[in-house]
Amino acid sequence: MRWSEPVFVIGFLVTLLLSSPAMAATLTVRDVGKDFICNCGCNNLLPVCDMECGEQLRKVIATKIEQGWDKPKIVAYMIDNYGEKLLAAPTKKGFNLTAWLTPFAAILVAGGAIFAVVRRWASRQPAASDALGGEDLARLEERYQRRMEAELKDFD
């Protein structure tokens, strides 16, 4: 048992060293391609598209990576050459910002409307004609009692 603790610590340090930013800094086609969809209309993400057009786009990305381009520069190049329709998600600026904000705004407006309606229903007071005073209630009860007794006499 004495040797298991140092082995655990060494294993942890090796794992930490291998997952360092220097190891993660290598850019791959998959890392860049996950931001794009295929432009043939299949709507698959670029890394999983098995069509010819997807392969061509992956080759373009691979070429740019080999030339030493970083991810933002490759993304800008792809947008300039193929348009924003190639992006898997719309950019968060300009008119595309409405695609990000509209669903949340609609949820807030609908929630507010539901809250207002439920609050109005919960606080609704009975109409004045519906409310019976003590004297009216006693008279009504007496009337029903007499009617019930008359019905029971006729029934026998």
pLDDT band (50, 70, 90) for residue 130: low
Quick: pLDDT tens for 32-41. Answer: 999 999 888 8
In 10 A of CB 74, how many CB atoms? 23
Task: Tell me, yes or no, whether 19 and 61 share the same domain.
Answer: yes
pLDDT tops 90 at residue 77: yes
Quick: pLDDT tens for 88-127. Answer: 887 778 887 888 889 999 999 999 999 999 999 988 876 6
- Pick 132 or 1 by higher pLDDT: 132
Task: Tell me, yes or no, whether 85 and 29 share the same domain.
Answer: yes
Domain residue limits at 149: 96-155
Task: Tell me, yes or no, whether 79 and 132 share the same domain.
Answer: no
Task: Tell me, yes or no, whether 85 and 50 share the same domain.
Answer: yes
Task: Tell me, yes or no, whether 8 and 78 share the same domain.
Answer: yes
pLDDT tops 90 at residue 135: no
- Return mean pLDDT, the chain: 83
- Residue 27's DSSP bridge partners are none
Task: Tell me, yes or no, whether 85 and 100 share the same domain.
Answer: no
Quick: pLDDT tens for 13-54. Answer: 667 666 645 444 588 999 999 999 988 888 889 899 888 988
pLDDT tops 80 at residue 81: yes
Sorted by sequence, the CB contacts under 8 Å of residue 65 that are 6+ apart come out as: 27, 28, 29, 32, 74
Domains held by the chain: number: 2
CATH number, residue 54: 1.10.8.640
Per the CB < 8 A criterion, the answer to whether 49 and 42 are in contact is yes
Whole-number pLDDT of residue 133: 66
